[in-house]
């Protein structure tokens, strides 16, 4: 069975005619919030995705969380959760299975498949695009802006899909208006007017790695090559000489060719790995662990041959005998973590989808838990290798550590091993959050510590340094008493109703307050009736020498942190 | 991460520099690059102000450390920071209350430190043993009674693997049980946090007295007095002036 879509278009280049379905702003719209509420998805304190309502209010990608909230006080801010996005996307992909068996997922929100077969079946590219669009919209619970693009090559098709989004207007309008079909052979002309920045944007058939892409686009612009057409007009040999393999890939893509070389070697069959989980998988966390070990095994088979997988087929046999398959494709080669993540998303999607079907229609005879899981690399490329750190041992130490930690994950579950990541906030407990190891990109060295390391950045209402070494998640209730024995409250102006003289922790013995400071009042999101939080904090030193941070909210004091 | 607050290289162009001073500066420099050389040796790096506490100048690989008293968390964070700063990995088991801002200030490398939620009692020993095989420092705070067999097995595993087990007690008011075996080195901390007045001031640091008691050394043999500065870093003894911020520092 041919892995890569084959077939050269007569008269055109080597590019395969591809359909790309693009669900705009998937991270934001997959949350399922009403379309008129502005929603922003953040990661590490920066906005990574917005819905149309948020953009209309001025919230764009790349803003810091605070800036986004300043521009649009009513915006709903959610943390990025790739697992949830993948899970929510499964029904869409399942719907497309009815159109073609060769669906490949680029990322949650974007799928592609070869156009030739479905186009012939449905009577032309335009008709097929309409069918695809209807299928996708039918699978979505809420109207989402869906763009469908058909062109030679995945890159051109991706941009055609984006163009169709711009034209479609109202997201729910079906039919031809929602798709853009680029005639065979016209890809180069279609792409010619796009700015060079199009190379740097994420999407199917994007060249290289994000940082490399951006840098290349930057250099090209400064050299005066500001449109893809100009890049395509250059001689390929010159581009290679100046920019190397990355430049060549960009040149090919700008010319409307496919990135994939036309003749691919079929990966040998023994690169397939499979496992028969016992007991059969019907829970996501068990599936996650199996996914990880399977992905590691596949990488272990590929690496000695100097190969890396760019597309992988995840195939599962269910207890009832049905076999479900899904292809995942990734720009660049799939690292072990990325592969395991995709397998996990896939299993998560299937199990959740299965459960939903079972609930709706009664148990499906062909379905059931997963009894066999197969992972097969569909496309392999020579592994370019990775530059080891200058102190080469650093990476080796990391890999050893991750291997050992995987064992702990096996004992306790994937989410039990976590790392702290800066997410920005005012309260001591809100500045960092613990993220499961699998969800982190450990190569991103800078992303971990955030501005906390660079130096105290201005953050109005932030508590002064030094930060407390112990932060209680939901600390015990305390009572703060003034000399007369009455409770101490703090009014809106930040004045304490009395001098704190004694503190009782968790209804324990009263401890005398020997030193105190504050109150610091933080009035957060006062404009938002739902998210409004007014808190007042005190630093106290008790007679046993301990120093604590107490927080008052809605009339009750809690122990928030301790300096130890 | 290296604490650069204490040291400055005096410009040789400003005037006559006597050889004793230069030797002192070079000695200090040698101290600073020592941790990277120690990577394969029998001790892990320790923060410079705490080095006098350890017989070998740092926590010996394969040993069990106990840190207790007020200020134990800050001391532990400083130790973890020194170790992760030189490229080693650290794991905290069941220490969910650690303040990560403070950890970052102390110099802990977040990308080499993992936090594991308190495992069920029955699996605690297995998990800690697996971690001892993987990382160089494991910080534990068990809330159950560790059995003598488990404690001995863990100590043996540490010795085999060259990892350091740090026993911490977090003052959360919950009861703790005694470890059946004694630690190789116990650091008894006593911190006095300063800066709070009568409704004025702000917590701005602490004087931290740490005493090291080892199994084989005389009790109270080593003691240091260090300071946690306003930024949350551990610094060595300084010439104190008036309390509050902006104190002078003795510069080499």
Residue A458's pLDDT is 55
Structure token pair of residue A552: 């008052």
CA nearest A437 in B: which residue?
B114
Q: Is the pLDDT of residue B246 over 60?
A: no
Residues near A117 by beta carbon (within 8 Å), at least 6 away in sequence:
A100, A102
SS3 call for B105:
helix
Residue A363's pLDDT is 64
Q: For residue range A242-298, list pLDDT tens digits in order.
A: 888 788 888 888 888 876 644 345 667 778 888 888 888 887 777 777 888 888 888
Alpha carbon separation from B242 to B195, B246, B247 (Å, rounded): 11, 9, 7
Residue A209's pLDDT is 65
Query: Which of A404, A408, A419 lies closest to B111 in CB terms?
Result: A419
Distance CA B3, CA B106 (A): 9
Residue B210's pLDDT is 92
Q: Is A472 on the interface with B (CB under 8 A)?
A: yes
Q: How many CB pairs under 8 A join A and B?
A: 181
Residues near A180 by beta carbon (within 8 Å), at least 6 away in sequence:
A147, A148, A149, A150, A160, A161, A163, A164, A167
Residue A471's pLDDT is 94
Q: For residue range B71-101, list pLDDT tens digits in order.
A: 999 999 999 999 998 888 999 999 999 999 9
Q: For residue range A113-148, list pLDDT tens digits in order.
A: 888 888 899 988 889 998 998 899 888 888 788 889
Residue indicated by tokens 């959740």 = A352
Q: Which DSSP category does A539 fall into? A: E
**Helix ranges restricted to H, B38-147:** 72-85, 100-106, 121-134
Residue A441's pLDDT is 60
Distance CA B232, CA A506 (A): 28
Are A405 and B134 an interchain contact pair (Cβ–Cβ within 8 Å)? yes
Give the pLDDT band of residue A459 (cuts 50, 70, 90).
Answer: low
Peptide bond between residue A279 and the one before it cis (omega within 30 degrees of 0): yes
Q: Is A457 on the interface with B (CB under 8 A)?
A: no
Strand pairing class (A17-23; A556-563): unpaired
Are B105 and A452 an interchain contact pair (Cβ–Cβ within 8 Å)? yes
Q: For residue range A150-175, list pLDDT tens digits in order.
A: 998 888 898 999 888 877 554 444 44
Least confident among A161-170, A416-425, A504-513? A161-170
Q: For residue range B46-63, list pLDDT tens digits in order.
A: 998 998 898 888 899 999
Q: Which DSSP category does B50 fall into? A: G
- In contact, A522 and A534? CB cutoff 8 Å: yes
Residue B218's pLDDT is 59
Query: Which of A408, A437, A476 lies closest to B127 in CB terms?
Result: A408
Q: Is the pLDDT of residue A530 over 80?
A: no
Are B96 and A473 an interchain contact pair (Cβ–Cβ within 8 Å)? yes
Q: Is the pLDDT of residue A7 over 50?
A: no
Share of chain B above pLDDT 90, in %: 50
Q: Is the pLDDT of residue B1 over 50?
A: no
Residue A512's pLDDT is 93
Inter-helix orientation angle A82-96/A125-139, to 10°: 130
B186-211: average pLDDT: 90
B177-200: average pLDDT: 90
**Which chain B residues are within 8 Å of A390, Cβ to Cβ?**
none
Which residue from A357, A379, A378, A360 is spatially nearest to A368, judged by alpha carbons? Answer: A357
**Which chain A residues are within 8 Å of B97, Cβ to Cβ?**
470-473
Q: Mean pLDDT across chain A, nearest whole number?
A: 80
Q: Is the pLDDT of residue B252 over 90?
A: no
Which residue from A154, A150, A148 is spatially nearest to A167, judged by alpha carbons? Answer: A148
Are B114 and A468 an interchain contact pair (Cβ–Cβ within 8 Å)? no
Distance CA A22, CA A29 (A): 13
Distance CA A470, CA B73 (A): 7
Classify residue B52 by burial, with Cβ atoms within 10 Å: 0-12, 13-18, 19+: middle
A202-206: average pLDDT: 75
Structure token pair of residue B106: 């102390």
Alpha carbon separation from B136 to A245, B45, B92, B126, B179 (Å, rounded): 40, 11, 11, 17, 21
Q: Is the pLDDT of residue B187 over 50?
A: yes
Alpha carbon separation from B13 to B10, B17, B27, B74 (Å, rounded): 9, 9, 20, 40
Strand pairing class (B137-140; B164-168): parallel
Classify residue B82 by burial, with Cβ atoms within 10 Å: 0-12, 13-18, 19+: buried
Q: What is the 3-state secondary structure (H, E, C) of A491-516?
A: CCCCCECCCCCEEEECCCCCEEEEEE
Inter-helix orientation angle A284-302/A393-412, to 10°: 150
Read off the pTM.
0.62
């Amino acid at each position: 069975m041919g892995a890569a879509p084959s077939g050269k278009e007569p008269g055109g280049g080597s590019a395969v005619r591809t359909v790309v379905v693009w669900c705009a702003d998937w991270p934001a719209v997959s949350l399922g919030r009403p379309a008129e509420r502005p929603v922003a998805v953040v990661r590490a304190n920066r906005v990574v995705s917005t819905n149309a309502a948020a953009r209309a209010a001025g919230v764009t990608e790349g803003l810091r969380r605070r800036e986004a909230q300043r521009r649009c006080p009513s915006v709903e801010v959610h943390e990025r959760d790739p697992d949830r996005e993948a899970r929510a996307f499964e029904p869409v992909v399942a719907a497309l299975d009815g159109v073609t068996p060769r669906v490949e997922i680029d990322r949650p929100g974007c799928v592609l498949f070869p156009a030739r077969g479905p186009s012939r079946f449905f009577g032309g590219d335009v008709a097929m695009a309409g069918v695809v669009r209807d299928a996708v919209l039918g699978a979505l619970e809420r109207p989402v802006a869906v763009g469908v693009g058909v062109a030679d090559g995945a890159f051109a098709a991706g941009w055609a899909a984006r163009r169709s989004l711009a034209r479609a207007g109202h997201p729910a309008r079906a039919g031809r208006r929602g798709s853009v079909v680029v005639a065979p052979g016209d890809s180069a002309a279609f792409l010619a007017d796009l700015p060079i920045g199009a190379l740097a944007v994420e999407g199917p058939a994007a060249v290289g790695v994000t940082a490399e892409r951006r840098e290349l686009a930057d250099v090209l612009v400064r050299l005066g090559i500001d449109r893809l057409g100009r890049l395509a007009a250059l001689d390929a040999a010159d581009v290679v000489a100046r920019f190397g393999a990355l430049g060549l890939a960009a040149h090919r893509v700008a010319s409307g060719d496919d990135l994939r070389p036309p003749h691919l070697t079929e990966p040998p069959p023994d690169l397939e790995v499979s496992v028969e989980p016992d007991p059969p998988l019907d829970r996501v966390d068990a599936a996650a662990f199996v996914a990880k070990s399977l992905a590691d095994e596949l990488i272990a088979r590929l690496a000695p041959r100097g190969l890396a997988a760019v597309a992988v087929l995840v195939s599962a046999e269910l207890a009832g005998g049905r076999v479900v398959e899904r292809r995942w494709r990734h720009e660049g080669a799939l690292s072990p973590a990325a592969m395991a993540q995709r397998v996990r998303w896939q299993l998560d999607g299937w199990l959740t989808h299965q459960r939903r079907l079972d609930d709706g229609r009664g148990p499906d005879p062909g379905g059931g838990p997963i009894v066999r899981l197969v992972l097969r690399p569909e496309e392999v490329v020579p592994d370019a290798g990775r530059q080891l750190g200058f102190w080469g041992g650093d990476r080796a130490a990391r890999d050893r550590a991750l291997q050992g930690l995987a064992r702990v994950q096996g004992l306790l579950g994937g989410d039990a091993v976590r790392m702290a990541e800066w997410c920005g906030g005012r309260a001591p407990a809100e500045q960092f959050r613990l993220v499961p190891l699998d969800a982190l990109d450990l190569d991103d060295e800078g992303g971990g510590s955030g501005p906390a390391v660079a130096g105290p950045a201005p953050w109005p209402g932030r508590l002064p340094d030094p930060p407390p070494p112990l932060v209680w998640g939901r600390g015990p209730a305390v009572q703060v008493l003034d000399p007369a024995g009455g409770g101490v409250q703090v009014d809106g102006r930040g004045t304490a109703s009395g001098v704190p003289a004694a503190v009782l922790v968790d209804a324990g013995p009263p401890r005398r307050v020997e030193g105190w400071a504050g109150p610091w009042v933080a009035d957060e999101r006062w404009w938002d009736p739902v998210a409004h939080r007014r808190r007042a904090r005190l630093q106290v030193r008790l007679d046993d020498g301990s120093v604590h941070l107490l927080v008052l909210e809605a009339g009750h004091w809690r122990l928030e942190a301790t300096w130890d | 991460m290296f604490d650069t607050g204490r040291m400055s290289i005096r410009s040789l162009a400003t005037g006559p520099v006597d050889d004793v001073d230069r030797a002192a500066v070079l000695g200090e420099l040698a101290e600073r690059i020592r941790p990277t050389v120690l990577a394969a040796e029998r001790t892990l790096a320790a923060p410079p102000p705490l080095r006098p506490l350890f017989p070998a100048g740092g926590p010996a690989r394969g040993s069990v450390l106990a840190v207790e008293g007020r200020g134990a968390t800050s001391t532990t964070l400083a130790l973890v920071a020194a170790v992760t700063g030189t490229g080693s990995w650290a794991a905290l088991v069941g220490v969910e209350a650690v303040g990560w801002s403070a950890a970052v200030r102390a110099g802990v490398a977040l990308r080499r430190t993992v936090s594991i939620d308190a495992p069920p009692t029955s699996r605690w020993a297995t998990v800690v043993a697996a971690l001892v095989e993987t990382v160089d420092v494991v910080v534990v705070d068990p809330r159950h009674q560790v059995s003598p067999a488990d404690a001995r097995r863990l100590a043996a595993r540490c010795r085999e693997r060259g990892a350091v087990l740090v026993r911490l007690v977090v003052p959360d008011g919950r009861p703790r049980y005694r470890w059946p075996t004694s630690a190789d080195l116990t650091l008894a901390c006593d911190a006095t946090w300063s800066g709070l007045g009568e409704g004025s001031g702000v917590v701005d640091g602490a004087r931290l007295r740490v005493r090291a008691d080892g199994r084989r050394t005389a009790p109270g043999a080593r003691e240091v007095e260090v300071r946690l500065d306003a930024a949350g870093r551990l610094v060595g003894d300084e010439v104190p002036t008036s309390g509050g911020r902006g104190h002078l520092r003795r510069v080499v």
